Amino acid sequence: MRERICLQNRMAKWIPNLLPKRDACKDNIPSFEVFIKFILGYIRTPAKMAQMDAHWQPYSMLCQVCKLKYNFIGKYETFNDDFTYFLKRLNVSDWNIQKRHGPSGQTRQYYQQLYSTLPDELICQLMRLYDEDFRHFKYRVDDYVNRTTLIESCKRVGFFSRIANWYRLLFKS
């Protein structure tokens, strides 16, 4: 995946007839911003969104939360508690607890620092991409982004752009 992200990023910067060497990306770790741009490259069309890697595809799209009635939805952030609850609900007592993988252990401040490096427009695009996930699974944007005025601005832009899209679909098609 690292090579794919690196090559895509480098291709955008190269003169059209010069191809980047694959070796140049072999041990390359993309910056967080480059990685986010790679993810956002999939949102241009619904068909491309369906091709996204399941690790960063919106769960609301992947799991069809509006179409299926789930009995249980666990979160990565509360994995240990959710997993224990799930095992009890299934009446499973002999599960090897050592196999479990849980939350990353990173703090709210860590994530806020990571997202603080991103330009405002990328934050807004991410908010639009994962909007349904935040609503359905009760995530809070300000747990990740410490820019209150930007968050409010992105929400307004998202709302108005949805209205504009509805208008276009209803009256301009």
In this structure, are residues 59 and 68 in contact, taking their beta carbons and an 8 Å threshold? Answer: no
Query: What pLDDT, on the 0 to 100 scale, is given for residue 25?
Result: 66
**Residue of 138, 147, 80 lying closest to 111 (CA atoms):** 147
Over residues 135-161, the pLDDT tens digits come to 888 888 888 888 888 888 887 665 445
For the ranges 45-54, 106-115, 139-148, which has the lowest average pLDDT?
45-54
124 CB-side CA count, 13 A: 15
pLDDT per residue over 76-87, tens digit each?
778 888 888 988
Answering whether pTM is above 0.75, one says: no
Provide the pLDDT for residue 119: 92
What pLDDT does 116 receive? 92
